[in-house]
Structure 1
Amino acid sequence: MGRGVAGAGWPSASPPPAWDGLQWRLSDVTELPRVREELRRHTAAQGPVELRDRLLLVLDEMASNALRHGGGRVEACVRRTGDAFLVAVSDGDPRTPPTPAVDRDPSEGGLGLHLIAELSTAHGWYVEGDAKTVWAVLPRR
């Protein structure tokens, strides 16, 4: 798989199989520092510091987007695939796909999806029932 690129929207696709890892139910952005600390501890011995920093950034961007814009319940997880980590965040807005900002002044924010696409080897989203899940795969090397 090559590097992902965020165009007009993210591809609608299922993530690769993943297992073992951490999972959180979130209701407010004030919970994100605790989530980041748990992820730091969990990944401390699983790769270089740069990997941990990328995982933290991707999880934080996805979870904060879901909490601010997704509505309803938010669930986040970081799991292992064969040679990568899968970061997935679900929210209660299945009608609105992840849409990267286009032609926006960077000072206005909204560039997180572009950043996630650049850091990942694959990314996408899908709807199941009344939830939307946005996901990204980050290599462990």
Structure 2
Amino acid sequence: MAGRADRRLWSPAAAPAVGAGWSWSLARVSDLPRVRAELRRHLVGAGEHRDPDAVADATDQLVLAFDEMSSNALRHGGGGVVSSVRGCTGGWLVEVCDDDAHTSPTPAVDRDPSQGGLGLYLIAELAVDHGWQVRAGHKAVWAVLPWPAPAPPA
């Protein structure tokens, strides 16, 4: 595995295979509060038979990553934003697609943290894996967020 500093970069890579999940078309940043609430409800249901504290922490991290990636696409991605969360090996794949296939996700460099722009670094630290790819003329930025294992039988 690459060193910690290398891991925080966003390299071109295909997203892992996915299973079932949820998807939203987003037109504006003001859509995000409603979608975050829907995502939380879905994740609560997916957290049955798992440690409730671990599910709460994992849900917060997943919603944070989803929000950061979606708001980046809405602000900088040229439209056509579709955000999804789908089950995959290792947890949940958060994937956000937009119309700007020519611009890679680039973490802020030499910026005062008070000016923002550190979301991609944060997601990279929370994620098991992350990357981006161009598919059918769209950019797809993705991250796999871990999910707690089922609780052992009582």
Interval of TM-score (by shorter of Structure 1 and Structure 2): over 0.9
For structure 2, list consecutive stretches of 5 or more residues without a partner in the other structure: 48-54, 149-154
Following superposition of structure 1 onto structure 2, how do residues 59-138 of structure 1 map, counting pairs within 5 Å? Answer: 59-138=66-145
Q: TM-score, normalised by structure 1?
A: 0.93
Given that residues 90 and 128 in structure 2 are in contact (C-alpha distance below 8 angstroms), is that contact kept between their aligned partners in structure 1?
no
State TM-score, norm by structure 2. 0.86
Q: CA deviation at 1:65?
A: 0.1
Q: Does 1:19 align with 2:19?
A: yes
Q: CA RMSD in A?
A: 1.5
Paired with 2:40 and 2:88, the residues of 1 have a C-alpha distance of 18
1:70 is matched by which residue type in structure 2? G
- The structure with the largest alpha-carbon Rg is 2
CA deviation digits over 1:61-103, x for unaligned, max 9? 0000000000121000000013310000000000000000111
Q: Any idea what SS the aligned residue of 2:7 has?
A: coil
Partner of 2:146: 139
Gaps of 5+ in 1: none
Count of residue pairs brought into register by the alignment: 139
Alignment partner of 1:15: what SS?
coil
- Please say if residues 90 and 144 of structure 2, whose CA atoms lie closer than 8 Å, have aligned partners that are also in contact: no
The CA deviation at 1:106 is 0.1
For residue 129 of structure 1, report the CA deviation from its aligned partner. 2.3
* Equivalent in the alignment of 1:6: 8
Instruction: Name the residue aligned to 2:50.
Output: none
% same residue: 54
Q: Residue 57 of structure 2 corresponds to which residue in structure 1?
A: 50
Contact 1:22-1:79 within 8 A present in 2 as well:
yes
**Secondary structure of 2:144's partner?**
strand
